[in-house]
Structure 1
Amino acid sequence: MAELVLFNKPFQVLSQFTDRSEDGEKARATLSDYLDIPGIYPAGRLDYDSEGLLLLTSEGALQHRIASPALKMAKTYWVQVEGEITDHALTQLAQGVPLKDGVTRPAKVKRIPEPAVWPRVPPVRFRESVPESWIELTITEGRNRQVRRMTAAVGFPTLRLIRYRIGDWSLEGLAPGDFRTVTVNLPSPARNRPRPGARTGRKRS
């Protein structure tokens, strides 16, 4: 059995517990501003300018199961893109997009209505002359800034990126900066369904 922390990482927060500038002063918001649970560390990462689900654990085997590229755990993102995305672009994303580090694996993708999510702070810059649209994109790899590079490669730059789900776990019910814990059975991969934990939390004051 292992404890897994599901955290809704806000925009412009580092996926690590420390960040120091050259003069030793804290430079950017980190996980330590929101979580005070000893011994946990992220299973994978989420970019500073992305939002949504980040998983943390103190159990190495669980961290490996979630983060290992070889195990291809699916990750689902809600992506706001610049422009009205076309069927051709969706087909490209689904089949695989050529990037500098190789063609991406086939993905699942569809148009979605704008999701009922929290407002971003600061907000995405709005331009009346440029339309926007939302897609749901599920990938099974984790290259550096992969989703942003994929949408840019098909002609629709990412404006806002929210990770909604990793494997069986989602950020449903979590406001930005909040977390909850679940218990995961180890080591059998077939028994990794989460059970509700007793601990929940909000941003540290």
Structure 2
Amino acid sequence: MTFQTASDQHFLIYKPYGMLSQFYSNSKQQRRKRFLGELYDFPEGLMPIGRLDEKSEGLLLLTTSGKMSNYVNSQRIEKEYYALVDGEITNDAIKQLRTGVIIGFNGKKYQTQPCEVFKLTNKPEIPPAEQKIRDDRHGPTSWVSITLKEGKFRQVRKMTSAVDFPTLRLVRVRIGNYKIGAMKIGEVKSLEDLHF
């Protein structure tokens, strides 16, 4: 499905850890924060399709097409995440994540929808973390793939915490048919169009 006009512009970026999914802020508290404008000379009118919180990294789509942004957010396009969790995740925890868990959202309890979850047998081929993360020398860790069609604030982190395996690193690796592949942290790719 496509909605863009010839004048619309689209970008695929690997958002770094510690950067906000926005271009600027008038908030005094956020003046020292990092923003997407550091990565590239982006055109005006660009908006992120969905967001990644400051402590998450990975694939982010940007577009000047409001219709495309609304379509992706409303049509429940799959988003896949790799989460490094604290501990050797159990089959029971994975089953709970698949069927749905209770998390807090806007001060209320929320039941997450069924989703695809599996443990990665090998460490994923993604760039080394830019931040310090507790590693296997301090106890076991596990990588899991979680694919959602919803996107509540900090949902993956809340989900893994709900089954007692807190997330140590979170990387979004896919949005629909767009994959992070061999992109480097902070890399920006211009796209001619977007198709879902």
Specify if TM > 0.5. Answer: yes
Whether 1:73 and 2:77 are equivalent positions in the alignment is yes
Match of 1:10 in 2: 16
2: CA distance, partners of 1:22 / 1:30: 14
Match of 1:160 in 2: 169
- Contact 1:21–1:27, Cα closer than 8 Å, also in 2: no
- Contact 2:94–2:118, Cα closer than 8 Å, also in 1: yes
Match of 2:149 in 1: 140
Q: Secondary structure at the match of 1:184?
A: coil
Q: Deviations over 1:77-97 (max 9, x none)?
A: 001000000000010011111
Q: Secondary structure at the match of 2:88?
A: coil
- Contact 2:85–2:165, Cα closer than 8 Å, also in 1: yes
Whether 1:84 and 2:92 are equivalent positions in the alignment is no
Shift in alpha-carbon separation, 1:61–1:82, aligned structure 2, 3 A: same
Q: Deviations over 1:152-191 (max 9, x none)?
A: 0011000000000011111113101111122336xxxxxx
Q: Secondary structure at the match of 1:137?
A: strand
1: CA distance, partners of 2:136 / 2:180: 29
Q: Secondary structure at the match of 1:92?
A: helix
Q: Deviations over 1:44-83 (max 9, x none)?
A: 1100000000110001111111223xx1111000010000
Using the TM superposition, give the Cα deviation of residue 98 of structure 1 relative to its aligned residue in structure 2, in angstroms.
Answer: 1.5
Using the TM superposition, give the Cα deviation of residue 20 of structure 1 relative to its aligned residue in structure 2, in angstroms.
Answer: 5.1
Whether 1:105 and 2:113 are equivalent positions in the alignment is yes
Match of 1:27 in 2: 32
Whether 1:56 and 2:62 are equivalent positions in the alignment is yes
RMSD (Å) for aligned C-alpha atoms: 1.8
Q: Secondary structure at the match of 2:129?
A: coil
- Contact 2:82–2:170, Cα closer than 8 Å, also in 1: yes
Alignment partner of 1:177 out of 160, 180, 186: 186
Residue type matched to 1:62 in 2?
A: M
Q: Number of residue pairs matched? A: 184
- Contact 1:19–1:27, Cα closer than 8 Å, also in 2: no
- Contact 1:81–1:156, Cα closer than 8 Å, also in 2: yes
Gaps of 5+ in 1: 186-191, 194-205
Match of 1:94 in 2: 98
Structure with larger RCO (C-alpha < 8 A, sep 6+): 2
Q: Secondary structure at the match of 1:47?
A: coil
Structure 1 runs of 4+ with >6 Å offset: none
TM-score of the two chains, using structure 1 as the length reference? 0.84
Gaps of 5+ in 2: none
Shift in alpha-carbon separation, 1:115–1:19, aligned structure 2, 3 A: same
Residue type matched to 1:33 in 2?
A: E
